[in-house]
Each structure stands twice: as C-alpha cells, then as structure tokens.
Amino acid sequence: MARITAVALALSAVAGVSAHAAHTDAPESAWMRKYPDSGDLSFSGIVTFAHLPHSRCLDEPQQTFDIAVLGMPFDTSVSYRPGARFGPNAIRQGSRRHATNRAYSIPWNFNPFLAGAKVLDCGDVPISPYDNALAMDQIETAYSSLLAREVSSKFMQEHGDTMSLALDGKEHPKIVTLGGDHTVVLPILRSLHKVYGEIAVLHFDAHLDTWNGNLYKGAWTYQSKVTHGSFFWKASTEGLISNTQHLLDSRRYPHAVVRV
C-alpha cells in the first residue's frame, strides 16, 4: 500500500509541474496569438541606437558584426564645461525615431540598415572618470579589441572597401563612436594606426583642436597636456595622421580651413 501511495504522489507531482508549466505559458501564448510581431514603437523598448540589437561586445569575444556603434562616455579632459559623458545616452535617445524598418532614405534610395551588413549596438566602454591616462588606455584597448574582430557577413567580406588599405590585407569591422569629449579621438587614432598606418582625417568642428599642449597654463604633467583641444597636435607628434590628407574645417572660423 505504501508503494502504491508513493507512486501516486510522484504522478501527482509530475501532473502538478505540467499544470504549472501550462499555466505560466498561457499568458505568453495568448499575447503571441493576439498580437504577433508587435515590436517596439519609436518611444518604447530598451534604448539602443536606432533600436538596433544590443550586445556587450567587449565582454563577448565571440560576438561578430560588420558595423559597431560604440559609446565613449568620457569628458574629463575638457578645459571648461564637462557633461559629454552623457553624450552616448543622449544620442541613443535622439535616435529612437529611427529603426531598421524606418530608415529608408529617399535621397540615397536605400535603407542603410538593410544593405546587407550586420549593424550592432555594442554598448559603452566603461571608462574611468578618475584617471585620464587609464581612460585613454581603456578606450584604445576597447577600440582595438573590436577592430580586430572578423567581419560578420558575406556581404562585407565581398563588398568591404577597406581591405586594400589595411596593413594585414583583411577587411576589418567599422566602428561608429558616440562621444564623449573630443579627446577620445586620440586613442581611436592610435588603434586605427595599428591597422591602417597613417590616417587621413576629415574634421568638422567649431575649433581646430591643434593647440600645442606644452603651451597650456596649468598643464604640468604629460597627461595634462592631452586635452580636447590638443589631441590633434598630440596625434601629429606621434605620427598617427597623414600630413598630406588631413583636413580641418572650423565652423566657428569659416575661413580657417587648414590642410595639415
């Protein structure tokens, strides 16, 4: 009798688990039956750039992509007004009106998100707000790590346009960076230089950002000479940028178009 009771209890437990599973699945099934493929509206959902899929790419070395959107929340090299650390989040908020199914360009006559490349929001680089030397290394390391990934799609392997420029003859992913104060360009140029050699830069800004860091008042240390206004000077002294294909167009000074 005890054995029969034990079997009955076991069967009852299994039935209870099955009933519980059916109960928990019911709401999800009901939603999918009534509202399949709903998706997010422009004002809803987790905030990523243009509602793109998101991955913590730096923590997921197996993740591949063709184009990465990468935030650089850094602003501790500014000479006056900080706050650009919130730039990546603000840009993503402002991009919510766009999405892969709402990005058709009439002038260009195509949807860039559906051109064949895998575009991924890779989140932000966790940059130190306390140590600028450490921050520069974190940015360079992060950018170099993603730049070294294999491209994801056959489309990019066949239609990539930078293979001939790379020192290793390979197609590398493209990275769209969301800043961050302008100093983040320096470690990015250091990363790009390792892959492509001297970089040609087309720079639109209110300022030229070519100040000699040695002339800054209060810049007593090596790191303090690297700021949002001197990073191009520093990049030039390190041989990162081309001296024949570097164009600076200052918006505040419309006649100050400088070819370095």
Does residue 54 register a pLDDT over 80?
Answer: yes
In angstroms, how far is the first alpha carbon of the chain from the final one? 95
Q: Domain locations in the chain?
A: 38-197, 199-260
Instruction: Give the tens place of pLDDT for each residue, 222-240.
Output: 788 888 888 888 999 999 9
What predicted TM-score, i.e. pTM, was given to this entire model?
A: 0.80
Rounded to 5 degrees, φ, ψ at 242 are: -70, 140
Does residue 151 register a pLDDT over 80?
Answer: yes
* Per-residue confidence (pLDDT) for residue 38, from 0 to 100: 81
**In angstroms, rounded to a whole number, what is the distance separating the alpha carbons of residues 58 and 63?**
9
**In angstroms, rounded to a whole number, what is the distance separating the alpha carbons of residues 61 and 224?**
33
pLDDT cut 70: percent of the chain above it: 84
> Per mean pLDDT, which range of 49-53, 124-128, 135-139, 150-154 is the poorest?
150-154
Confidence band for 15, pLDDT divided at 50, 70 and 90: very low
3-class secondary structure, 40: coil
Residue that is written with structure tokens 């184009």 in the block: 67
Residue that is written with structure tokens 């063709």 in the block: 66
3-class secondary structure, 225: helix
Per the CB < 8 A criterion, the answer to whether 162 and 94 are in contact is no
Does residue 191 register a pLDDT over 90?
Answer: yes
* Per-residue confidence (pLDDT) for residue 27, from 0 to 100: 58
Instruction: Give the tens place of pLDDT for each residue, 93-132.
Output: 999 988 888 888 889 898 988 888 999 999 999 999 999 9
* Per-residue confidence (pLDDT) for residue 98, from 0 to 100: 87
Span 167-192, mean pLDDT?
A: 94
Kindly indicate whether the domain formed by 38-197 is annotated with CATH number 3.40.800.10: yes
Confidence band for 40, pLDDT divided at 50, 70 and 90: confident
Which one-letter DSSP state was computed for residue 238?
A: T
Does residue 63 register a pLDDT over 80?
Answer: yes
Q: What is the mean pLDDT of the chain?
A: 83
Assigned token pair, 135: 């921050």
Span 157-175, mean pLDDT?
A: 89
The Cα-based distances of 55 to 31, 63, 120, 147, 225 in angstroms read: 26, 8, 7, 16, 35
Confidence band for 258, pLDDT divided at 50, 70 and 90: very low
**In angstroms, rounded to a whole number, what is the distance separating the alpha carbons of residues 135 and 183?**
10
